[in-house]
Amino acid sequence: MAAACRICGNTEGNQAFFPKEMMFGWREEFEYLECARCGCLQIARIPDDLAKYYPSDGYYSYKAPKRKRDPAWLLKLRHERTRYFLGEFSVVGAALGAISRRPEHFDWLRGRASLDSRILDVGCGAGGLLLKLQREGFRSLLGADPFIQADIDYGNGVKILKRGIEQLDGRYDFIMLHHSFEHVRDPASSLRSLALALAPKGTLLIRVPVADSHARRTYGIQWYQWDAPRHLYLHTRKSMQLLAAGAGMEIAGVVHDSSGQQFSSSELYLRGVPYIEHGKYRPDRGSDARPDAFEQAEWDGFQARAAELNRKGEGDSACFYLRAR
């Protein structure tokens, strides 16, 4: 009997694919199954030594974030700007907002969180995003990541716990997983645990690569978001709907937020270039750029194509907003 999909249980018509580890260029091959019913891509067997593929000296999310120590007056101004970006009008905040760029995380949080919201970032690595949020005035911030070496306490109210989803305590108003849900071993169980950790009327944001996308269809196993074997599951809208229903939740909204990297990095995988070398191919590297780096016009074209795909719901990354039913 064919292997069953671990999301919907389907055994009919499932296909096998064999992408390689390309972040570090180890080129080890892994078998993945594509479900013919829900479309989810999933690794056939999770490696026993999975931690080996997250080296603390090489995996990007575990590098210590840069610490900024802004003066108190500047922090107060930043907090006024944050309130404005979250939808609370003030003259000072509006003036600051008009002259500054709005970071993308305010798009996730606007209408869903305030400065007093209890915010949990799951799979946050060393906690770089939480440190940014702390500088912007958010007061209740916690991170969790099972792959960090030990708990981290930054001494400013931001703590990162070396824990998995099932080990967390408390209730949170806004829980976010930025490209970490595709790394969990049992997404159904994890989503049930997240639902229990969500406060009444709270929001769960799951930001993941999506397999039902233009880039995945175009590049096949060279699609850079495959990221074997770290990405254990690459979901579709349908597989996310099934998981949400199983956890007593519903998808309140989906926003595609892919970038031009779906083209640039996938094209480099076609050339056999490991991910850790991709920075050398940017057109803005100047004298450090490779002779065969992308031209600026080509790079700009990647970004424009990504924006169009996002508008059509075809980008290769999406934010799923979930609430309790």
Helix axes 91-99, 72-85, angle to 10 degrees: 90
3-state secondary structure 184-233: CCCHHHHHHHHHHHEEEEEEEEEEEEECCCHHHHHHHHHCHHHCCCCCCE
Give the residue among 181, 221, 189, 175 at the shortest CA–CA distance from 17: 221
Residue 83 has pLDDT above 70, yes or no: yes
Look at residue 69 and tell me whether its pLDDT is greater than 80: no
Whether pLDDT at 64 is above 80: no
pLDDT band of residue 62 (cuts 50, 70, 90) is low
- Quote the mean pLDDT of the chain: 93
- Residues 19, 221 contacting (CB under 8 angstroms): yes
- Per-residue pLDDT tens over the stretch 111-159: 999 999 999 999 999 999 999 999 999 999 999 998 888 999 999 999 9
> How high is the pLDDT of residue 70?
78
Confidence at residue 60, expressed as pLDDT on a 0 to 100 scale: 59
Mean pLDDT of 47-73: 78
pLDDT, one tens digit per residue, over 264-310 is 999 999 999 999 999 999 998 877 778 899 999 999 999 999 999 99
The order of strands in the sheet holding 172-178 is 152-153, 159-161, 140-144, 118-122, 172-178, 198-209, 317-324, 249-256
Please give the model's pTM, rounded to 2 decimal places: 0.92
Sign of CA dihedral 175, 179, 182, 185: negative
At residue 77, the pLDDT reads 87
The pLDDT tens digits of the residues spanning 3-18 come to 999 999 999 999 999 9
